Amino acid sequence: MSTTTSEPHIYDGDGDAIMGSHEVGDRIVLLPGTVAEQRDPDATQRIRIMWGHRLIDDLLANRYHTLVCGVNAVDNSHGFISQLAERLPTSQWCNASITAHAKHYVQPRTVSVVKYDMDTVEVLALLRPSEHDHLTLDDLSAGFRIITAMIHRKPHRLPIASVCFLGAKANRLVNDRGEEPSFETVLRTMYESGYRGDAYPAMWMWHSAPTGVYARYPFPESIAKMREGGF
């Protein structure tokens, strides 16, 4: 007896044809990263990249115990940390108190990790050194090493999510050339510092199509081979 196969349908009715339109606004081309039929668990722990998910919604839905983001000692009115504090119903923090709290911990040359208990969410905020005009990759690395140690000491902080630190204004992240790094560089810095939680791309990154993106980091070895001209 012969068996026939057909391409799977994602949507009911004509949904597949409709959603195949190139006129769809925000588009992400998501690449699998591993063979779909592979059933064995991945031997490598990876950062899960939450393409298409809104961080604020997931935090309000109590999907995370801990959040990693940036904070500064001047003004956080436009920062994600203040946005979260305003929307969590039992949080007693506001922009003014968040900023005042950060001022107690700022150091001249060393990044600080400042804790904010917002009841349902604990925020571990990276505070750049006062002598740095911007947050550097070295600051990011040092901050995530501290956060990794804090998680190992208190595993109940899991599950944990982090912003991507790209596109920020007051807490802008720069590389050694004074430019904003790539998302891959940010992920590599987090990973090499021991972080294995979730990472949320900025929403403006949802316009990445036609560039393909992966849902986990480290990326497959095949991408390195392609960079070298192989297949």
DSSP state letter for 180:
P
Where exactly are the structural domains of the chain?
A: 43-227
pLDDT given at position 36: 57
Helix (H) or strand (E) holding 27, with range, is none
pLDDT value, residue 47 = 98
pLDDT of residue 21: 64
pLDDT of residue 218: 96
- Among 122, 145, 127, CA closest to 72: 127
| pLDDT of the chain, 231 residues: tens digit per residue | 545 556 788 889 888 887 776 666 678 899 987 765 567 888 899 999 999 999 999 999 999 999 999 999 999 999 999 999 999 999 999 999 999 999 999 999 999 999 999 999 999 999 999 999 999 999 999 999 999 999 999 999 999 999 999 999 889 999 999 999 999 999 999 999 999 999 999 999 998 888 999 999 999 987 777 777 665
Copy the structure tokens of residue 93. Answer: 């923090």
Q: What is the pTM (predicted TM-score) of this model?
A: 0.91
User: Which of 81, 192, 187, 71 is CA-nearest to residue 142?
Assistant: 192
Report the distance separating Cα 125 and Cα 72, nearest Å: 9
Residue 230's pLDDT is what? 60
- Which residues make beta-bridge pairs with 122? 66, 117
Cα–Cα dist 17/184, whole Å:
33
Per-residue confidence (pLDDT) for residue 10, from 0 to 100: 84
pLDDT for the residue numbered 32:
86
Nearest CA among 71, 200, 90, 85 for reference residue 139: 71
Please give the class, per CATH, of domain 43-227. alpha beta
β-sheet bridge partners, residue 160: 66
Q: Exposed/middle/buried for 168, CB within 10 Å: 0-12, 13-18, 19+?
A: buried
